[in-house]
């Protein structure tokens, strides 16, 4: 087993005064344009996963607070200015949010690094910068949401003349429930298209990472968002359940585990609210023998290690053509052993801690189970350090398709590697999963790349790269990885509904 980089005293970035100030005092709920404690008076703490230290006390929203937020959003939708505002007014406001995110990128980046444990550099350059981009992208769409005119034949009214058209309207009050792995970014993916289309929203951030959503509420307030349009209610699963079951909510958009996704579907049945789901994954990353090692090794490493493996798209099943299996997996393991582990606030950190004790226990539990099943670690396999929720980057070989480490979403820095025979193909093995979120393909043969991309049952396929996202490209899952497509023009479809109007002239 190769040793991982030594644990050294980290040189962490100093916390900005503005971030310190934000963290002081109770962080409240943001409902109807006002800051309020939870009706129960309760608070919960959110901690820094690198140290376990308490960062802030947060108002603990529950069903009663969700109800109040839904009523505020309903009033803002039915009576407020937002849905009746001119599209270019909504455009300017959303564009301003994007600008303000960029202006305060350092602050948002630090808060995200502290609350989630991810590297401050990545939080700023990826999470915050992309969130700003998403607001600008959908700001542009606000003025481009169109219906169509339809040249109807009306066979049962042959003598008449008609004027028929469609209107694309906002769905109404939307409940947005997001996880802790990309707290600000997942909120932006939902908020921006929902607001561009003229909906009003209630956002429920994850209990582990409520802080960036509350700073975002300050940004909305400062930008002049009318009261009730954006409501933010931090809390636990029961708050999410109250939101997805509320009859005053017209649509719920969820990102998180497949298990909770199914609960959302059940809860939504009452009023048959619209549902979109971005769920888990166990994505295949396929490396053919003719792949360019220079790009395929670091690319395949990043595929499973990005965000400490806490990414729904993580390429955690590596299928490597047998001719290069030992050489390739050895190179990936060697690169993994060189990764710099540390707290997110150390700018040199490449791999931070997992988000919580719960996730740490889950990931290390899978490692124990995998080893007991007969897996062998080319590198890693253990906890890293004495404090914080750090796990060594781990490459597992000698695995079989039925092992839990191959089947389940581990959500940590763990990859399984399996050889494949080019004659028999790789698609069947790659598709042998209840998930279908993403896939990677590495080859210099362009025809093979296209053929394989077509065979893979996944919402996103990346060739000679991994996590090749763009705000304009639809993203979502096949099979149990979800319903609907976020981002791009498809993202707007989730937050609009079509009305057909037919006029007898
Ligand atoms: P989760 O339980 O699915 O949580 C996602 C969001 O749903 C959180 O805001 C959560 O609130 C809320 N929630 C929990 N129970 C709910 C319910 N019954 N009704 C409505 N909302 C509810 O995910 P997690 O607990 O954070 O992580 C568990 C596993 O999910 C991970 O190990 C990972 O495998 C997977 N996961 C996947 C993604 C992804 O992007 N695909 C993201 C995160 C996690 P609380 O925070 O209070 O629980
Ligand atoms: Mg949970």
List 112, 174, 207, 312, catalytic entry:
312
Tens-digit pLDDT profile for residues 66-81: 999 999 999 999 998 8
Residue 299: pLDDT above 80?
yes
Structure tokens at 337: 């052993």
* Best residue among 260, 273, 310, 408 to mutate for probing ligand 1, ranked by most atoms within 8 Å of CB: 260
Looking at the CA of residue 280, tell me the nearest atom of ligand 1: 41
Q: How many whole angstroms separate alpha carbon 307 and alpha carbon 168?
A: 37
Do the beta carbons of residue 473 and residue 189 sit within 8 Å? no
Provide mean pLDDT across the span 454-470.
98
pLDDT at residue number 84: 83
Q: What is the pTM of this model?
A: 0.96
Q: Measuring from each residue's beta carbon to the nearest atom of ligand 1, which residues come in under 6 Å?
A: 177-181, 204, 206-207, 236-237, 240-241, 244, 255-257, 260, 263-264, 279-280, 312, 359, 362, 409, 411
Structure tokens at 115: 């609350």
pLDDT at residue number 1: 31
Q: What 3-state class would DSSP assign to 492? A: helix
- In order, the DSSP letters of 93-135 are HHHHHHHHHHHTHHHHHHHHHHHH---HHHIIIIIIHHHHHHH
Residue 5: pLDDT above 70?
no
pLDDT at residue number 162: 98
For residue 66, report the distance from its CA to the centre of ligand 1, in Å.
18
Tens-digit pLDDT profile for residues 12-67: 789 999 999 999 989 999 999 999 999 999 999 999 988 899 999 999 999 999 99
The pLDDT confidence band at residue 347, using thresholds 50, 70 and 90, is confident
pLDDT at residue number 11: 64
pLDDT at residue number 10: 53
Question: Has 278 been annotated as catalytic?
Answer: yes
pLDDT at residue number 251: 98
Instruction: Give the count of beta carbons closer than 10 Å to the beta carbon of residue 274.
Output: 18
List 107, 278, 321, 409, catalytic entry:
278
Tens-digit pLDDT profile for residues 84-110: 899 999 999 999 999 999 999 999 999
The pLDDT confidence band at residue 260, using thresholds 50, 70 and 90, is very high
pLDDT at residue number 3: 34
Q: What is the chain's mean pLDDT, rounded? A: 96
DSSP strand pairing (274-278 vs 284-287) = unpaired
Provide mean pLDDT across the span 244-267.
98
End-to-end CA distance of the chain: 80
Provide mean pLDDT across the span 337-343.
95
Question: Has 174 been annotated as catalytic?
Answer: no
Among 167, 432, 404, CA closest to 283? 432
For residue 237, report the distance from its CA to the centre of ligand 2, in Å.
6
Residue % of the chain over a pLDDT of 70 = 98
Residue 189: pLDDT above 50?
yes
**By alpha-carbon position, which residue is closest to atom 46 of ligand 1?**
206
* Best residue among 38, 256, 308, 436 to mutate for probing ligand 1, ranked by most atoms within 8 Å of CB: 256
Q: How many whole angstroms separate alpha carbon 77 and alpha carbon 93?
A: 17
The pLDDT confidence band at residue 256, using thresholds 50, 70 and 90, is very high
pLDDT at residue number 423: 85
pLDDT at residue number 429: 98
pLDDT at residue number 113: 95
* Best residue among 38, 45, 178, 237 to mutate for probing ligand 1, ranked by most atoms within 8 Å of CB: 237
Q: 215-221, long-range: CB within 8 Å, 24+ apart, which pairs?
A: 215/22, 215/104, 215/107, 215/108, 215/111, 216/101, 216/108, 216/184, 216/187, 217/30, 219/97, 219/100, 219/101, 219/104, 220/30, 220/97, 221/30, 221/33
């Amino acid at each position: 087993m190769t040793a991982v980089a030594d644990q050294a005293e980290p040189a962490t970035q100093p916390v900005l005064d503005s971030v310190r100030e934000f963290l002081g005092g109770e962080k409240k709920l943001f409902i109807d344009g006002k800051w309020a404690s939870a009706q129960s008076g309760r608070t919960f703490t959110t901690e820094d996963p690198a140290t376990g230290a308490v960062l802030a006390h947060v108002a603990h929203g529950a069903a009663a607070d969700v109800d109040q937020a839904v009523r505020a959003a309903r009033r803002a939708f039915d009576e407020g200015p937002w849905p009746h505002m001119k599209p270019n007014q909504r455009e300017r406001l959303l564009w301003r949010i994007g600008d303000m995110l960029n202006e305060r990128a350092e602050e948002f980046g630090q808060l995200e690094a502290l609350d989630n444990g991810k590297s401050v550099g990545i939080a700023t350059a990826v999470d915050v910068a992309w969130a700003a981009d998403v607001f600008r992208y959908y700001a542009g769409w606000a003025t481009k949401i169109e219906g169509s005119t339809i040249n109807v034949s009306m066979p049962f009214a042959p003598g008449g003349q008609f004027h028929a058209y469609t209107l694309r309207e906002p769905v109404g009050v939307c409940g947005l429930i997001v996880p802790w792995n990309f707290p600000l970014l997942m909120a932006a993916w939902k908020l921006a298209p929902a607001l561009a289309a003229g909906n009003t929203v209630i956002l429920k951030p994850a209990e582990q990472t409520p802080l960036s959503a509350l700073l975002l509420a300050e940004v909305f307030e400062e930008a002049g968002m009318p009261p009730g349009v954006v409501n933010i209610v931090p809390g636990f699963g029961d708050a999410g359940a109250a939101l997805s079951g509320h009859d005053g909510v017209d649509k719920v958009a969820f990102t998180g585990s497949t298990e909770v996704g199914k609960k959302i579907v059940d809860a939504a049945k009452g009023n048959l609210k619209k549902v979109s789901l971005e769920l888990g994954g166990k994505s295949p990353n396929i490396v053919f023998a003719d792949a360019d090692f220079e790009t395929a090794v670091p690319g395949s490493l990043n595929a499973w290690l990005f965000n400490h493996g806490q990414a729904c798209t993580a390429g955690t099943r590596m299928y490597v053509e047998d001719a290069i299996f030992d050489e390739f997996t050895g190179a990936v393991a060697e690169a993994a052993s060189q990764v710099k582990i540390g707290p997110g606030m150390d700018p040199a950190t490449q791999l931070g801690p997992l988000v919580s004790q719960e996730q740490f226990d889950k990931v290390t539990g899978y490692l124990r189970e995998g080893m007991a099943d007969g897996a062998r670690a080319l590198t890693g396999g253990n906890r890293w350090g004495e404090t914080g929720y750090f796990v060594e980057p781990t490459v597992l070989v000698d695995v079989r398709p039925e092992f839990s480490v191959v089947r389940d979403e581990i959500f940590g820095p763990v990859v399984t590697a399996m050889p494949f025979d080019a004659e028999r193909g790789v698609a069947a093995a790659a598709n042998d999963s209840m998930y279908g979120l993403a896939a990677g393909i590495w080859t210099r043969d362009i025809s093979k790349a296209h053929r394989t991309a077509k065979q893979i049952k996944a919402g996103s396929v990346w060739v000679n790269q991994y996590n090749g996202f763009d705000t304009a490209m639809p993203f979502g899952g096949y099979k149990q990885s979800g319903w609907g497509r976020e981002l791009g023009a498809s993202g707007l479809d989730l937050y609009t509904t079509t009305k057909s109007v037919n006029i007898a002239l």
